[in-house]
Structure 1
Amino acid sequence: MWKFGPYHGGVWKLRVELPDAYPYKSPSIGFVNKIYHPNVDEMSGSVCLDVINQTWSPMFDLVNVFEVFLPQLLLYPNASDPLNGEAAALLMRDKTSYEQRVKEYCEKYAKAEDVGGLPEEKSSDEELSEDEYDSGDDDMAAGPVDP
């Protein structure tokens, strides 16, 4: 849980994709549950890559992403380079209303009890843990096996 400005109390699940050239190329970061922020695409959750790419170095690791880059992004949104134009315009026009909208999103989409139930995307090379395998998840489709 981050304690940053209007995002205080919100809990988000993040998607992290490491490129083949990592750590020489920055990871791709996205929010799984919705967040209202000028530099985060509201539909996909993708974080503006420039935010991370501008300062990325192979000396950084994922700890830097979670403890430095993302908190800085939440504290200091860049309304002049938005992925969410509505959020950027509201921030520039009326910061109080922007912060109220952020808090509404936090209450609606970023509660700790809700994040645990969000569906996760699995890549083809990830293995299921024993708990996930035995969970009897109905979301998985099964069909006849070809001989």
Structure 2
Amino acid sequence: MDLMKLMMSDYKVEMINDGMQEFYVEFNGPKESLYQGGVWKIRVELPDAYPYKSPSIGFVNKIYHPNVDEMSGSVCLDVINQTWSPMFGKPSALLLFINGHFLLLYPNASDPLNGEAAALMMRDHTTYDQRVKEYCEKYAKPEDIGAKPEEKSSDEELSEDDYNSDDDQVAGKADP
């Protein structure tokens, strides 16, 4: 019943397999945040001991955030567990997380999974903000949420490098 409330919310929920313990949720970046304009897809896995044990949550599309592993999309367990309480119940706890009020609006650089993002956030907030926005533009458009972060970034990096290096080499050889 609680999962049904989540499914009836403004978020797009897609079940994985036939069970009710694994699903994807799509949501928009919070308004007035660095992530505004981005569309995010997360994978949620509810453990057998749920709601007494926190869910496992990971981003499907690539995100630049100190509490999210850039390659796997895993969200720092400490961040989830610090705010987790079984009294929240499924819809309110998951909606709180998905809404991004504590993760996307309030990144915690003191407990990072992405050390580079945390360090940049602490020493050069302007560059950090710029990097977050670049990732939003590159990886968080509606058409991006179906691609795994590794696949998309590898393809783009490979194609950019191939085109740039080939063009430079051809141009260099063409001049006598």
TM-score, scaled relative to structure 2: 0.63
Render the CA deviation track for 1:79-125: whole Å, top value 9, x for unaligned.
Answer: 1110000000000011111010000000110001322x336xxxxxx
> Pairwise CA RMSD of aligned residues?
1.5
Render the CA deviation track for 1:13-35: whole Å, top value 9, x for unaligned.
Answer: 10101111001101010001100
Is 1:93 aligned with 2:123? yes
Kept after mapping to 2: 8 A contact 1:2/1:71: no
Is 1:40 aligned with 2:74? no
User: Which residue matches 1:16?
Assistant: 44
**Does 1 or 2 have the higher relative contact order (CA < 8 Å, sep 6+)?**
1
C-alpha distance in structure 1 between counterparts of 2:92 and 2:143, whole Å: 26
User: Pick from 75, 91, 109: which aligns with 1:79?
Assistant: 109
Equivalent residues, number = 118
User: Which residue matches 1:123?
Assistant: none
Question: What amino acid maps onto 2:30 in structure 1?
Answer: K
Is 1:67 aligned with 2:95? yes
Q: For residues 49 and 95 of structure 1, do their structure 2 counterparts lie closer, same or farther at Cα, with a shift above 3 Å needed? A: same
C-alpha displacement of 1:65: 4.0
User: Which residue matches 2:30?
Assistant: 3
C-alpha displacement of 1:66: 4.3
C-alpha distance in structure 1 between counterparts of 2:50 and 2:124, whole Å: 39
Which structure 1 residue ranges, 5 or more long, are not aligned?
Answer: 120-147
Q: Which has the higher helix share?
A: 2
TM-score, scaled relative to structure 1: 0.74
User: Which residue matches 2:132?
Assistant: 102
C-alpha displacement of 1:68: 2.1
C-alpha distance in structure 2 between counterparts of 1:62 and 1:118, whole Å: 27
User: Pick from 85, 94, 99: which aligns with 1:57?
Assistant: 85
Bigger Rg, which one: 2
Kept after mapping to 2: 8 A contact 1:16/1:27: yes
Which structure 2 residue ranges, 5 or more long, are not aligned?
Answer: 1-27, 149-176
Question: What amino acid maps onto 1:93 in structure 2?
Answer: R
Moved more, 57-66 or 88-97: 57-66
C-alpha distance in structure 2 between counterparts of 1:93 and 1:102, whole Å: 15
SS in 1 for 2:44: strand
